[in-house]
Structure formats: C-alpha cells, structure tokens
Structure 1
Amino acid sequence: MMSPDGIGHLLRGLREQAGRTRRDQAGHLERTSGRFVDPENIKRWETEKRLPIPDWHDVIAEGYGVPVEEVRRAVAASRRYRTLVSTSVSLDDQEGVSPVERRAFLGVSILAAGIATEPWGRLAAALAGPNVDSQVTDELVEATAHLFVSEHHIPAKLLAARLGSHLETLTALIPRSGPHRPALTIAAGETAALAGWAAYDVGDMDTARHSYKTAALAGREAGHPAVVALAMGYASYAVPADKAREMLAAA
C-alpha cells in the first residue's frame, strides 16, 4: 500500500506529465546528473518498494524539475505511511492496548499522508476527533499552506488527489474539533478553493464550481472573508470578463 502523497505517486505523476517511460526517465536523470541510473530504480521508487536515499534527493529534484524540499517531504510522507500501516497491524487484536493508546494511534493516523481517503482512515478520523489539539491543528494548517506552494510545481491531476485527501481529513475532524473548529474550517475552505482551481486546470468545471461554492461556505461559516475572496478570485477565471470584474471587485 502506497502513501497517496508520497514519493511514488509524485515521481510517477511527474514522469507521466513529461510523457516519459521509466527507461526515458532514467536516461534523463543520467544526462542531468552525470550518474548511472538503473531504470529498475525508477520502478522501485514509483512503487515504493525502495525509497530514495538522501544521496539521490538532489538528483531527483533536478531531473524531475521540483524543489528538493518537495522530494524530501514526499519521502518523509512515505516513511510515515509505512510506519502507520505497520503500527495498525501490530495493534490488531491486542488485548493490552488501552482506549487512550488506541485513540493516540488514530490521532497520529490522521496526519499520515492521505490516510483519510481510505474507508478505514475516515473511520479513524472520526474516532480520533477528541484528540484534536493545538498541535494537530497547527500541523494541518501548515499542511494546507504547503499545498499552495506545491501548486507551482505539481501537475494539477496529482495535486487534486492530494487536495481531496487533505480535505477528507479536515472534514472528518471539524465536527468534533471544539475550539479548533474555526481554524480547521478556514483550512478546509482554503483547500476547497485550491481544489476548485486544480479541477478548473484539468477542465472539470462542475467540480470546480462545487469546490468554489463549498470554499465560500466554509469562509462564511468561519467568519473569515479572506477565504470567500479567495474562492471568488479563482472562480472569476471561468466566467465572462464583465462578470469576472464584478466578482473581483466584490472579492
């Protein structure tokens, strides 16, 4: 099982966006780095049978055209996901695990890359609701901000999958987040607005419209007009010029 926003999906998405086969990609990395690259390594990285060691991070970043920080983030996400899956197996049917320990594990699972896109992940998110604290909130808000940075160098299709995963996590946690509800609602609105932009970028106008409306709803619910303005700004690209000017003025 691969992390939805780990290194495997990132490298495969970038390679396919460039129209290269795995052998083509290996050759491209050789030309940009001057190092021998086995096409099998490309396969292992994409399937996460093996994660790139730090010595390869700069080579990958240059060869795939992304910041090295994005490569490191994706590798870290894959490692977290591996740990989560192995922990979930070890917790199975253990009589000695207390309810508090189980909730602690579920709380960590929410922060794993894309975990809430799986059915059991959504249940974990719901059960872990009481564990939402300032640290979890801060990490989710920071993850939201990182998605806006990723938008500059991640293909829209790949970004859309990440956004959907992140939005699922936020959606599962908001109803039981107590005093942290406004912050998570704002993060969800920002994520929905960016998801609308990604959908627009790939021509899915219906999803884009729904995402913008949801983002504006979240902004109003949180009493945060900036999120409403963000949604209106993105949505203005898909309407005639006169309407766009009206929307931007209102934003």
Structure 2
Amino acid sequence: MTMDQEHLRSVLDTVFARQDMEDACKRRDLGGVIRILNKYGVTQGQIANLTGRSQGRISEYKSGKRVPTAKHTFEEFAGGLGMPGTLRRHLGLSSSGGKGGAQVVSDGVQIPTDTFDLQLFAEAIGKRGEPLKRRELLAMVAQLGTQSALAQSEAWEKVAFALSKPSAIDEAVVREMEARAAGFHRLEEMLPAHTIFKGLAAHLNEVGTILNGTATDPKDELRKRLIVVAGESSVLAGWIATDLGNISAARNLYDTAEKASKEAGDAAIIACAFGYRSYIPSGKGNHGRARALLASALQHLPQDTSPGTTSWLAARHAEESAALGETEAALRSWDEAREAFNIADPEEDRVWTRFLDQDRFDSFHISTYAQIGRLDEAEAVARAVIARLPDVERKRAGIILGDIATAHIVHGSVTEAVRAAREGLAVIRETESGIWLPRFLVLGEALRRWQTQPAVRVFLEELAVTKRQFSASPR
C-alpha cells in the first residue's frame, strides 16, 4: 500500500529522531541512511522521488556499490528528505540548507570557506593571540560577513604596495601575514583539512609572491620575518596535505619549510617539520622510523629556544618508544616532556605549539602510559580529557580513543578495545580527520582474529565504509 505524503512525512520525522540515523549521518553513510529508511517502510522509489536521484542509483548507494562523497549529493538527500538541522550538521552541511559557503564547526557555529574569507578569518584569530570560546567564535564569524569586501580591497592594496616597493616591505603587511599564519594553525584544530587548504595555499602564494619581489639581504629583518612565516605556513600545509592523503605534496611542503628554516636561521622550523613527518610512518606502524625522525627533530631544536616544541617532540618520542616496547626509554622521554611542559607557555611560544594545552599534553600521557601497561591510569586520564573537550576540538577525542583501543588490544581486552575503537572511528568520520585513519586500519587488522564476535564484525564493517569514503573523497 502506497504511503500518503502526510504519513510519509510523519515516518521520516520519527526515523530522523532515531540514534541509528544520527550515527549513520555522523559516518556520512548514505547507504546506511537508505537502509534505515527502508526498514521503517520508506521505499527506494520514494527516496528517489524526494531526492531527484534514480532508483538504480539509490540501490547502488544502499548496497555500497557506489559510495557518495560529493557535497551536493548530501545536500540533495538532506534537502529532499527534509532532514533536521542536527542531521544536516552531522553530514557536514549548514543547518538551514543555505548556499552561503559555510562549514559547521559546532552547534550553530559556522566558519566561512571562501578562500579570501578564510584568510581574513585566520588573520583575525591570529591577532587575538589567545584561544577562542564558542561565543567569541560566533561573534567573529558574524563580524566577518560585514567586513569582508572592504578588507579584501585593503589587503590587495597592501600587497600591491609591497610588490611595488620591494626594498622596503611594509611592517603592516608582515604583521598581517604573521597573524594569518598563527590563525591557520588555530583553524587546523577546528576544521577538516579540505576546508582550509585552499585558503592556506593562497596565503602561501601571497607570501611567496612578496618574497620573490624582494632582494636577498641578511640584514633585512622584515624579509627574514616573512621567510619565517613561509616556513611556519609550509609545515602546516605539509601536515594538512598528509591529512588529505597527498604524501608527495606533503614532502614538497616540508622541504620548502626546511629551506625557509635554513635561510632564516630558524632551526626550530626544521624540528617542527620532522615532528610532523613522524606521523606518516607511525600511522603505518613503523614506530622505529617515526622515533628516528623525532630524535633528529630534538637534535635540530636549539636548547631553551622553544620549551613548547621540546615538550611536544619529547612526548611524541615517549609514545613511539612505548609503541616499540621500550619502557625505560619511554619514561625518560616522558620526564623530559613533562619538565619542558612545566615551563612552557604555548601561547607565547611558536605558532605550532599553541595546540599543546593541558588536554593535548594529557593525550600523550594516555598514549605512552597505555602502551607501557599502566592502562588504568591511562584510561582515567582519557575519560577526563574527553569529558572536558569542547566541540571545536573533537579531533583530539578520536586520537585519544584510538590510543585506548590499541592499549586494550595489547592487554587482551577485546570488548573494551572495540568499544573505544568504534567511538574513535565515529569521531574520525565526523571531523574528516583522514590522517588518523591508518591507526584505525591497524586496529582493524589486530581485531580481525575476533571477527566472529558481533561487536568486532560491526566495527570492521564501519571501518570498511569509512575507508571507501576517504579513498573516494576529493578531499
């Protein structure tokens, strides 16, 4: 019997309120959405009529033969089916379905994704010099919309002036570029990689254009500061390229950062590049190579120049040593990390250290202690950190949960491992943090020996869907 429109709307509203529907949207799993709708009586033909897609294509989505990734496809589904704002946000869409080019960050907070607006927004965040609260983030986004056109005109005038007067780079331009670099480092914690990459690339292009128009002069402090900006921005771009799965571009960007580091005489940039690079082999399980990169990073870093960087690199060295089963080395490195963290002020340190607040430092504590067998202590810290994480820093929860899942596998607790792994994988999908997916693929291989257990089987299915989504995505 055909369902009338009023009844159909009632069924859709009921299904959209279900937890399994919310979970499917968090995974951006349209096949799962279709299967749930079918389960409650909404046919593929009805879905096709509402979304404007052919019934054959709906069938392909349902079976997993085709995995949609384009934003317009999700928009057509969400709009056609009349999804509420909560589910739209889980799918990475604006709450209202408008065309304004905004990316949802947390409940009701949208960030502009237009290339210039991102540059302007990054600059505004960098000038603040302190972390943002949700209310302040909302106010800045609202203010941005009224200032964008005027600011764009002014920015191009300043860049044009710098290019026409290469012998005297304007102080204001240098300060804006410095603020923008710092702002992009903050935005990386809040937004998916693909959302900010174009804005960051445009920023790097502007910096490079200005530098190419100036004469090399070791005594020119403004030019040296711009080279540092180029290095700091390149290491971040390399990190984001890694997240997007473009390892070749990442290596080129890290090489650019190292060149900038040498020209500016700023060895800390090379140390940062090695630190970021260490995540590539680590994600593949090559902890020896990762630790070697971190050891090189610590050797390059001048003593006492950046306690925040020392703390981060030593903490990474600790967790890689723990992954290699070298408990004593892990604890030595952890003591070095803790000592540096106690005197560090990441907000007054390098732009890349500003992520290293107490929560992030605790995540290294969790990873290290979980892998050396102090699991109760690690999990207690983990739950405390996750409970206090704001929505804009959800990426960290995925990392932490992956560490906890790994530790549970090592210590033979499959049930707890699967629970943490599923939670972490949901966060990876939600935040589109592809750089952490290899860690969960390793988890999947470790759990495969227990695949007869229902919970493990569900995790492996979710992992397969996530892998297809990331591999097919134009991120």
Q: Same fold (TM over 0.5)?
A: yes
CA contact (8 A) 2:162 2:210 kept: yes
Give how far 1:146 is off: 0.7
Give how far 1:63 is off: 2.5
Output the aligned Cα RMSD.
3.8
Distance across 2 between alignment mates of 1:73 and 1:125: 28
Distance across 1 between alignment mates of 2:256 and 2:88: 45
Q: How does 1:211-222 map to 2 (within 5 A)?
A: 211-222=253-264
Give how far 1:74 is off: 5.0
Match of 2:85 among 4, 12, 28: 28
Residue range with higher mean Cα deviation, 127-136 or 191-200: 127-136
Corresponding residue number in structure 2 for 1:230: 272
CA contact (8 A) 1:60 1:71 kept: no
Distance across 1 between alignment mates of 2:71 and 2:137: 18
1:133 partner letter: D
CA contact (8 A) 1:29 1:63 kept: no
Corresponding residue number in structure 2 for 1:201: 243
Give how far 1:127 is off: 3.5
Corresponding residue number in structure 2 for 1:139: 176
Label 1:157 to 1:133 Cα distance change in 2 as closer, same or farther (>3 A). same
Corresponding residue number in structure 1 for 2:314: none
Label 1:250 to 1:105 Cα distance change in 2 as closer, same or farther (>3 A). closer
Larger relative contact order (CA 8 Å, sep ≥ 6): 1
SS at match of 2:101: helix
TM-score when scaled to structure 2?
Answer: 0.34
Q: How does 1:105-144 map to 2 (within 5 A)?
A: 106-107=157-158, 110=159, 126-127=163-164, 129=166, 132-144=169-181
Give how far 1:222 is off: 0.5
Distance across 1 between alignment mates of 2:148 and 2:167: 22
Match of 2:107 among 62, 69, 76: 62
SS at match of 2:189: coil
SS at match of 2:290: helix
CA contact (8 A) 1:188 1:215 kept: yes
Name structure 2 gaps, 5 residues minimum: 1-69, 112-133, 298-475
SS at match of 1:132: coil
Instruction: Specify the structure having the higher radius of gyration (Cα).
Output: 2
CA contact (8 A) 1:174 1:181 kept: yes
Corresponding residue number in structure 2 for 1:50: none
Query: What percentage of residue pairs aligned between the two structures are identical?
Result: 26
Q: How does 1:28-177 map to 2 (within 5 A)?
A: 28=85, 39=96, 42-43=98-99, 45-46=100-101, 62-64=107-109, 67=134, 69-70=136-137, 72-73=139-140, 79-83=146-150, 106-107=157-158, 110=159, 126-127=163-164, 129=166, 132-175=169-212, 176=214
Residue range with higher mean Cα deviation, 132-141 or 175-184: 175-184
Task: After superposition, give the CA deviation of every residue in 1:33-57 in whole Å (9 maximum; x if it has no partner).
Answer: xxxx9946x22x239xxxxxxxxxx
CA contact (8 A) 1:125 1:169 kept: no
CA contact (8 A) 1:164 1:195 kept: yes
1:46 partner letter: G
CA contact (8 A) 1:106 1:127 kept: no
SS at match of 2:107: helix
Name structure 1 gaps, 5 residues minimum: 1-14, 48-58, 89-103, 111-122
Distance across 1 between alignment mates of 2:185 and 2:239: 11
Give how far 1:193 is off: 0.6
Corresponding residue number in structure 2 for 1:243: 289
Label 1:38 to 1:225 Cα distance change in 2 as closer, same or farther (>3 A). closer
Label 1:63 to 1:39 Cα distance change in 2 as closer, same or farther (>3 A). closer
CA contact (8 A) 1:61 1:71 kept: no
Task: After superposition, give the CA deviation of every residue in 1:199-219 in whole Å (9 maximum; x if it has no partner).
Answer: 100111110110111111111
Label 1:194 to 1:25 Cα distance change in 2 as closer, same or farther (>3 A). farther
CA contact (8 A) 1:61 1:68 kept: no
CA contact (8 A) 1:170 1:188 kept: yes
